[in-house]
Amino acid sequence: MKKIISFLSVIAAMIIIGTVSYAATINVPILCYHSVSTNPLALENYTISKSEFEDDVRYFKNKGYNLITPVELPYVSGDYGNIILSFDDGYEDFYKNVFPILKEYNAKAVVYVIGSKIDKTNYLKSWQIKEMDQSGLVEIGNHTDILHSPPKDVLISWYNDSFMLNEAIYDIGKCNQRLYDIIGHYPQSISYPYGAYSESLERLVKDELMFLTSVTTKHGIVTSSSDVYSPMNRIYRIHGDTPKVVEQRIYNLK
């Protein structure tokens, strides 16, 4: 009897240890950018200047932060000052204005690409996507194929309808295939347009399309390792903010 109790105690301890490890505090902020422009007239809330972005990268690197990508999140252990720079929509200015800075500072970022916009005016071209993927500095993510077109409330209603949910999965899979044809592998991270999703969509995206991570537009940070496998919160990077203001906003969320 004592041996049985002892064995059960060991199993219980293993479960507890596993749970603690799985829910370990990591405090990883994911900053959400869109466009980075050199045109002063184009600057607004979600379009920042090239100099602002370089200020961000320089500041975080000088402070000792690690600029990582979503695919690296499952391997993060402890609160080591990791940050993810994420870009939605796949504008061509990412290649022209962001990528050179990433190379200069040996920093990483993820860009979520709208599949139907690839090779279109002002959006990333296939050869640019391939070059950045091969650099090891840029993770290429999925931002759906045409699902970015309907309004957020329409998308939410679709995601709770079985027929339209299947259409959404088809759309995401179509973007996956476009990217596979360019980079030779499927993306492992997805950004939901407008941050809209349902539990059913999230389950299918992870179980059937095999995505590792997903992100929304809900304000917040990734506080534990268990958060990595749920739709993750982000922090908008607003034009006019200094890197120190952004850092303080991160600190206030921890």
Q: What is the pLDDT along the chain (254 residues), one digit of tens a residue?
A: 433 333 333 334 333 334 334 568 899 999 999 999 999 999 999 999 999 999 999 999 999 999 999 999 999 877 779 999 999 999 999 999 999 999 999 999 999 999 999 999 999 999 999 999 999 999 999 999 999 999 999 999 999 999 999 999 999 999 999 999 999 999 999 999 999 999 999 999 999 999 999 999 999 999 999 999 999 999 999 999 999 999 999 999 98
The CATH number for 52's domain is 3.20.20.370
In a domain, 171, yes or no: yes
pTM listed for this prediction = 0.90
Count the neighbouring beta carbons within 10 Å of the beta carbon of residue 154. Answer: 14
Q: What is the pLDDT of residue 23?
A: 60
CB contact at 8 A, 113 and 179? yes
In a domain, 221, yes or no: yes
In a domain, 47, yes or no: yes
In a domain, 156, yes or no: yes
CB contact at 8 A, 34 and 228? no
In a domain, 8, yes or no: no
In a domain, 13, yes or no: no
- Domain extent, residue 181, equals 25-253
In a domain, 112, yes or no: yes
Nearest to 142 by CA among 115, 167, 124, 162: 115
In a domain, 14, yes or no: no
- The CA-based angle 142-146-147, given to 5 degrees, is 80
How many distinct structural domains can be found in the chain? Answer: 1
CB contact at 8 A, 176 and 210? no
- What DSSP state is assigned to residue 117? G
Q: Which secondary-structure segment (H or E) carries 33?
A: strand 30-33
